[in-house]
Amino acid sequence: MLTKLVKKEQTLFSVFLFLVLGLQSCGNEPVQPVNIDAVPTNVTLKRFDKDFFSMRLDHLDEDLSTLQEKYPLFYPFYEHDIMGWNPSGVKENCQMLLTDTNVLKLQDTIQQVFGDFSEQMEILDPALRRFAAHFPESPTPSLILAYTEFLFRSGTDSSMLVIPLEMYLGENYPVYPFFNIPSYMLRRMDKYHLPTVAMSAWLDQNFGSIPAGNRYLDQMIKEGKQLYYLQSVLPNTTDSLITGWTGDQLTWLRENEFQMWTFYINDKYLYSTDGAFYMNLLSDGPFTAAPNIPPGSAPRIGAYSGWQIVKAYMEKNPSLSLLDLLMETDGDKILRESAYRP
């Protein structure tokens, strides 16, 4: 079992790390600081959800036209890409949403949970300004709140970041059980996890998948880059919200950090290119479902290991930008220069 490796294995592994990584250890929670005061405040919030549900049934043609004029870029995206409506059935679909008592009750719940969304904007506005400071060539999106019939947790295009608030009403929201959502995912469906999901989506929109090789080492460093990015744009957010791990899971990861590396080496994971062999170490779930790892483990142990490597690497290379980090594809270089020791 991962938590029951013997001392002899630990001694051999210490020698391996000494040879590969050197003697230095990583520091504590580094982030990439930026001066957001120098970044113009141009993050706009648009309440499409409120404007949509404010339409009047007896003036639907007029109000729908007004809605289309107010959102010339977003409305076609909403109609076609998000809701998948046939143009000939738009009015009928709008009527259905505007008269569905369950949907209207949901909008009341959203108002109770989020109000004017100012609490979230206090986090998202500086986060997006930090993003702009780190990646000045990338656009700053409009934040658009919209009802999407529980289709996804976020949506983006080149100039918009769409957030469906019905996906963040708390794990006890009575409708969620009907979707058979696993409990480990349900736990994160609240307003506190919303900024992390939004900022992850905006990174994906601008950079797609972070480039990486196909070895386990490369893939866990890729996951570590994602977490380091989130830590950089959301520096005042707790590790649990950044990572999705619970406090107990983070404790387990810290306490078993050395044993995890012993496991990677002994079971020949580190340089494996067989995704089917190592993917369970990176996949989300209630725990890491891999041979010789106990059910009481945290999920995604590889992501945690990659995060520690990346933090150590960036501390050792303070002149590197966040963009430099994301674009560096040499996993061996990152591991070596991090001088990381668990």
Q: What is the pLDDT of residues 237-260, one digit of tens each?
A: 999 999 999 999 999 999 999 999
* 31 Cβ contact list (under 8 Å, min separation 6): 228, 231, 232, 235
The C-alpha atoms of residue 68 and residue 10 are separated, in whole angstroms, by 64
The pLDDT of residue 33 is 80
pLDDT at 28 over 80: no
Cα 174 to Cα 169, 180, 195, 291, 333, distances in angstroms: 10, 12, 23, 36, 49
Closest to 300 in 3D by CA, of 189, 229, 219, 231: 219
Neighbours of 285 (CB within 10 A): 14
**Which helix or strand (DSSP H or E) is residue 76 part of?**
helix 74-76
The pLDDT of residue 34 is 86
**15-19, 147-151, 300-304, 313-317: the lowest-pLDDT one:** 15-19
Q: Percent of the chain scored above 90 by pLDDT? A: 83
Helix (H, G, I), strand (E, B) or coil at 139: coil
Per-residue DSSP letter, 269: -
The pLDDT of residue 9 is 36
Cα 84 to Cα 80, 115, 128, 178, distances in angstroms: 5, 28, 29, 22
The C-alpha atoms of residue 301 and residue 298 are separated, in whole angstroms, by 7
Closest to 103 in 3D by CA, of 188, 166, 21, 20: 166
Per-residue DSSP letter, 78: I
pLDDT at 134 over 90: yes
Per residue in 214-227, pLDDT (tens digit) is 999 999 999 999 99
Task: Output phi, psi for 204, to 5 deg.
Answer: -60, -40
Q: Are 46 and 74 in contact (CB under 8 A)?
A: yes
Across the range 230-241, mean pLDDT stands at 97
Closest to 337 in 3D by CA, of 67, 118, 24, 127: 24
The C-alpha atoms of residue 170 and residue 188 are separated, in whole angstroms, by 8
The pLDDT of residue 277 is 97
Pull the structure tokens for residue 303.
């992501």
- Residue 7: band (very low, low, confident or very high) from pLDDT cuts 50, 70, 90: very low
Per residue in 59-100, pLDDT (tens digit) is 999 999 999 999 999 999 999 999 999 999 999 999 999 999
- Angle between helical axes of 90-99 and 60-70 (0-180°, round to 10): 100
Across the range 305-315, mean pLDDT stands at 98
The pLDDT of residue 39 is 84
pLDDT at 11 over 60: no
Across the chain, what does the average pLDDT equal?
Answer: 90
The C-alpha atoms of residue 255 and residue 342 are separated, in whole angstroms, by 10
Across the range 294-322, mean pLDDT stands at 96
Across the range 124-133, mean pLDDT stands at 95
The pLDDT of residue 102 is 96
Task: Output phi, psi for 333, to 5 deg.
Answer: -65, -45
- Residue 5: band (very low, low, confident or very high) from pLDDT cuts 50, 70, 90: very low
The C-alpha atoms of residue 287 and residue 284 are separated, in whole angstroms, by 8
* 185 Cβ contact list (under 8 Å, min separation 6): 284
- Residue 32: band (very low, low, confident or very high) from pLDDT cuts 50, 70, 90: confident
pTM (2 d.p.): 0.89
Q: Are 50 and 67 in contact (CB under 8 A)?
A: no
The pLDDT of residue 192 is 98
Alpha helices per DSSP H over 90-191 = 90-99, 101-114, 118-134, 183-186
- Residue 54: band (very low, low, confident or very high) from pLDDT cuts 50, 70, 90: very high
